Amino acid sequence: MNPSVFAGLFYKAYVRRDVDAALRLIDRIGRAVIRNFRSPWPQQDWWHDEAFNAYLGRFGELEGHNMERRWMVYQLGRLARDVPGDTAECGVFHGAGSYLMCAGNRGTNKTHHAFDSFEGLSTPGPDDGSFWSKGDMAAALDGVMRALAEFDSVKYHRGWIPERFPDVESLKFSFVHVDVDLEQPTRDSIEFFYPRLSEGALFVCDDYGFSTCPGATRTIDQFLEDKAEKMIALSAGGGFFLKGRSVAPAGPGGTFR
């Protein structure tokens, strides 16, 4: 970047508190490092939702890049509250996603089912790219139990996906969140839960559309190829479908066409 342009933008942004200059400066720096980098509008009310910020703080997520997806999962989960069935998360880590789902279940008779090895990721397959390694994202079960202690109806299913799915084979589900980063457990999860989703149920995959999770994105698209439902790819990453709701097709990973 031209140093005098940089200095001008920095002066306007930092000294004059000019929001537009600040965003242009951030975008220029971002694009110098990350292709097509783009910053969000800063006038978003949800940034200042104190109760939501307290939730993020509880899981150490007031910094980092998960907060927008957390907000969307919270909002999407509201679609599923009156749909019959339990909720489930495949890939729990420290419990931040399950916390949102349990909070959404308050005042209902739903049970939340948490599936995880609690030993981190399984071995990546040939189509999972090079970002992940076996054992990444390991979190201890007792820490998750402490994080979710305020909720009465949580069941933990410890083991490698899909070993513990038979525990819930006779149940129906209103909201399933799949977040295991890799192709095979994502495939196992959608194959198991799809027929158990009630009409109108919400299926979210946190990893959909991330270049770090190519196998998860591809296997979901492949699974839905002969179904009416297709993934809606979210702007902050991740995607969802509603069971029984057909949507217009898009390119692979929800790409524009």
Ligand X SMILES: C[S@@+](CC[C@H](N)C(=O)[O-])C[C@H]1O[C@@H](n2cnc3c(N)ncnc32)[C@H](O)[C@@H]1O
* Interface positions with ligand X (CB under 6 A): 89, 91-94, 96-97, 116-117, 120-122, 137-139, 160-161, 179-182, 185
The nearest distance, CB 55 to ligand X, in angstroms, is 12
The nearest distance, CB 137 to ligand X, in angstroms, is 4
**CA 205 – CA 221 distance, rounded (Å):** 11
**CA 203 – CA 30 distance, rounded (Å):** 32
The nearest distance, CB 111 to ligand X, in angstroms, is 18
DSSP at 210: -
Which is nearer to ligand X, 76 or 137 (by Cβ)? 137
Q: Taking a C-beta distance cutoff of 8 angstroms, is the pair 63, 149 a contact?
A: no
φ, ψ for residue 217, nearest 5 deg? -65, -50
Q: Which amino acid is at 214?
A: P
The nearest distance, CB 103 to ligand X, in angstroms, is 13
Classify strands 154-158 and 112-116 as parallel, antiparallel or unpaired. parallel
Indicate the burial class of 193 (C-beta count within 10 angstroms; 0-12, 13-18, 19 or more).
Answer: buried
Which is nearer to ligand X, 19 or 138 (by Cβ)? 138
Which is nearer to ligand X, 13 or 72 (by Cβ)? 72
SS3 of residue 65 by DSSP? coil
Which is nearer to ligand X, 21 or 234 (by Cβ)? 234
Which is nearer to ligand X, 80 or 180 (by Cβ)? 180
The nearest distance, CB 48 to ligand X, in angstroms, is 23
Nearest-CB residue to ligand X?
Answer: 97
